[in-house]
A and B are shown apart, each in its own frame.
Chain A
Amino acid sequence: MTGLLRTSIEEQFSDIWLEGELSNIRAPGSGHIYCTLKDKTSQIRAVLFRSSALKLRFALQEGMQVIVRGRLTVYELRGEYQIVLDTVEPKGVGALQLAFEQLKERLAAEGLFDQDRKKPIPAFPRTVGVVTSLTGAAIRDILAVLRRRWPTLHVLIAPVQVQGESAGRQIAEALAALNDWGFVDVIIVGRGGGSLEDLWSFNEEVVVRAIAASHVPVVSAVGHEIDVTLADFAADLRAPTPSAAAEAVVPVLAEIVERLRELTLRMGQMMLRHCAFERQRLDAGIRGVTDVRFRLQDAAQRTDDMVDRLRELLQRLLTSGRERVHEAQRDLSGLNPILAIKQGLATVPQFSKRLEGQMGTILAQHRHRVHAMLAQLNTLSPLAVLGRGYSILQTVPAGQVLHRASDVEVGQELEAQLASGRLHCRVTRIVDDSSV
């Protein structure tokens, strides 16, 4: 009887559509899916055999409103009738859309789309890997842009199908292969525009996982600006189009060469400027040193002058003294020349002696003043002196401050302390100006 019923039912309900809510979903190891389809007033058992279940792009969930297509049959072992499902479509949204949302949620929960997983895109890749179809517009666009921007780039293409059943697996394998190759700096994965179904491979879990697992940074470029796939979420950078991806991975070589040239030029200019500046400072330092020498020579000359003038003065004093002696002698000669001469002779040495004593005192005073002047010169603050452009010469490494040219030897290394910085010098000649 069951057999009869079955034949009758199968003939009458060979292709039916039902709408309802899914419940009691069971998916045992066999791959078949069992569930109950119900509405407010009735329910029916349903089975989705493995072959049909594999075509499902989204996961069946309890309480989901679905529209199904199938045929009625009787499960003779239990004497129950049921619907064998061919297709299950979610009500309201498309199956692909639902699958997209479900997978996105699941992979996001795993952290595959986290921002902190994103790897930086290298600024100057030497080798760019490309995972796309060799027949599409995408590869032509990518190669054209790469060639234009960086004419000496090495491009390694891992060709794949970008739509169809095996596309997802191929894309995942190509990503792994480029990673294994070891010399790839960045990978562009993508394809040109198409329908949601055409782009579907880039929403497949295997592709998303391969992108997330890539050690080499991945730039996704799927379809047009408005197309967003799960591959985009997993990629380190999402480019709106394949051309944009090519632009994102390489700079313009000409600009980099220009930048390098400019940096090198600027570096040279800076160095020249610095050298000129140091040269100026050195010249100023040398002038300072010369100034001091001139001043010392000047002081010495003035001292000599003073001594000369002093001698003259004394000479004059002596002369006038002698004249006065002679006058006195003359005056006296009228009276008693002999006496006068005797007296005169007696006073001359005395007078001379006094004069000589005075001269000594004056000379001593002048010497003292000259010494005091020199002492004052020496005790002036060295820093203030340096600030005026002088420098302190010290021996290396003892650090002894030099006062006399005779204290050093030709060839000896000296260090000149300027107001700012030091100069290392070597003595080439010694002028022993000891009159200073």
Chain B
Amino acid sequence: MAAVKFEQAMARLEAIVGELEKSDLPLDESLRIFEEGIRLSKNCLKILEEAEHKVEVLVQDKNGKKRIHAFSADDESDEPSA
């Protein structure tokens, strides 16, 4: 799930910055995790940019079939029947 992926990516990014700040890594290892960090950073930004604001309503008809429609002000008078 994207949410989990983002959370993990952010956590890994924090860890990488911590590693680089400790500065006891050999240069090639630093470069390796730096490249990984840049990739993560790009991916995170992409996930953030991809998301789109949507408010939808999930309704179930009498046969139990579910469908989704966009939420609008009209919905406020559209109480589901019991």
Taking beta carbons and an 8 Å cutoff, which residues of A are in contact with B? 122-127, 129, 133-135, 143, 147, 151-161, 164-166, 170, 173-174, 177-178, 180-181, 183, 185, 253, 256-257, 259-260, 263-264, 266-267, 270-271, 273-275, 277-278, 421
Q: Give min CB distance, A382 to chain B, whole Å.
A: 21
The answer to whether A159 and B10 have CB atoms under 8 Å apart is no
Within 8 A of A (CB), among B1-46: 1-4, 6-7, 10, 13-14, 16-17, 20-21, 23, 25-27, 30-31, 34, 37-38, 41, 44-45
Chain B contact surface mostly: helix
The answer to whether B34 and A271 have CB atoms under 8 Å apart is yes
The answer to whether A153 and B34 have CB atoms under 8 Å apart is no
Q: Give min CB distance, A81 to chain B, whole Å.
A: 41
Chain B: interface size category? 35 or more
The answer to whether A278 and B27 have CB atoms under 8 Å apart is yes
Tell me, yes or no, whether B54 is within 8 Å of chain A by CB: yes
Q: Chain A residues with Cβ under 8 A from B55's Cβ?
A: 143, 155, 157
Known: A124-B3, A267-B17, A271-B34. A159 touches B23 (CB 8 A): no
Q: Give min CB distance, B74 to chain A, whole Å.
A: 10
Name the residue of chain A whose CB is nearest to the CB of B56: A156
Q: Give min CB distance, B33 to chain A, whole Å.
A: 9
The answer to whether B48 and A257 have CB atoms under 8 Å apart is yes
The answer to whether B37 and A160 have CB atoms under 8 Å apart is no
The answer to whether B27 and A274 have CB atoms under 8 Å apart is yes
**Complex alpha-carbon distance, A177 and B45, angstroms:** 31
Within 8 A of A (CB), among B39-82: 41, 44-45, 48, 51-60, 66, 68, 71, 75-80, 82
Give the contacting residue for B54; candidates A155, A264, A275; CB below 8 A. A155
Apart from A260-B48, A264-B13, A266-B17: 4 A-B pairs, beta carbons within 8 A: A126-B3, A156-B58, A270-B20, A270-B30
**Complex alpha-carbon distance, A152 and B6, angstroms:** 15
The answer to whether B52 and A152 have CB atoms under 8 Å apart is yes
Name the residue of chain B whose CB is nearest to the CB of A186: B3
Name the residue of chain A whose CB is nearest to the CB of B21: A270
**Complex alpha-carbon distance, A156 and B60, angstroms:** 13
**A–B Cβ pairs within 8 angstroms, 29 of them:** A124-B3, A124-B6, A126-B1, A126-B51, A134-B75, A135-B77, A152-B51, A154-B51, A155-B56, A155-B71, A157-B75, A159-B80, A161-B79, A161-B80, A165-B82, A166-B82, A173-B60, A177-B58, A181-B58, A256-B10, A260-B48, A263-B14, A264-B13, A264-B41, A266-B17, A267-B20, A270-B21, A270-B34, A273-B23
